[in-house]
Amino acid sequence: MEKVAIFVDVQNVYYTVREAYGRNFDYNKFWAEATAGREVVKAFAYAIDRGDQKQREFQNILRAIGFEVKLKPFIQRSDGSAKGDWDVGITLDAIEYAEQADVIVLVSGDGDFDLLVNKIREVHGKKVEVYGVPQFTAASLMRAASEYNPIDGFLLLN
């Protein structure tokens, strides 16, 4: 059975799906699709923790599906800008689990991950499937992926 490791950039998915469709990503449908006929080695969902109740409920839903939720505090800078991304953490985890999995699934449209995807494919010889909202997924990331899966109607909550 093929082994899969899944890495979800929750903030990227939330904002791109909202912007493109005015809806939410269906994590249950995604899980069913990404894990069908596969053994899950690890599944991470990376999120920013603002400490509110609705977010905690969402994080518990992710855990119930099968994700390990990794949280980083939301940082508001004195100039009003915000900081809170998981790019380095996702990269480190994906490289760590690349040896244990046959397939790496990355859910993000962030073009910064094209280097990671190329590294996993070239150095580790693994298949990398990328899921992202088409109009907000970097072309370089789509090209780097072994397989690109658009987040569209099927993967959206009604």
Say which CATH number the domain at 39 has. 3.40.50.1010
The share of the chain scoring above pLDDT 90, in percent, equals 87
Q: What is the pLDDT of residues 89-125, one digit of tens each?
A: 999 999 999 999 999 999 999 999 999 999 999 999 9
Give the domain extent around 121.
2-155
Total domain count, the chain: 1
Provide DSSP, the chain.
-EEEEEEEEHHHHHHHHHHHHSS-B-HHHHHHHHHTTEEEEEEEEEEEE---HHHHHHHHHHHHHTPEEEEEE-EE-TTS-EE---HHHHHHHHHHHHTT-SEEEEE---GGGHHHHHHHHHHH--EEEEEE-GGGS-HHHHHHSSEEEE--GGGB--
Q: What is the pLDDT of residues 31-42, one digit of tens each?
A: 999 999 999 999
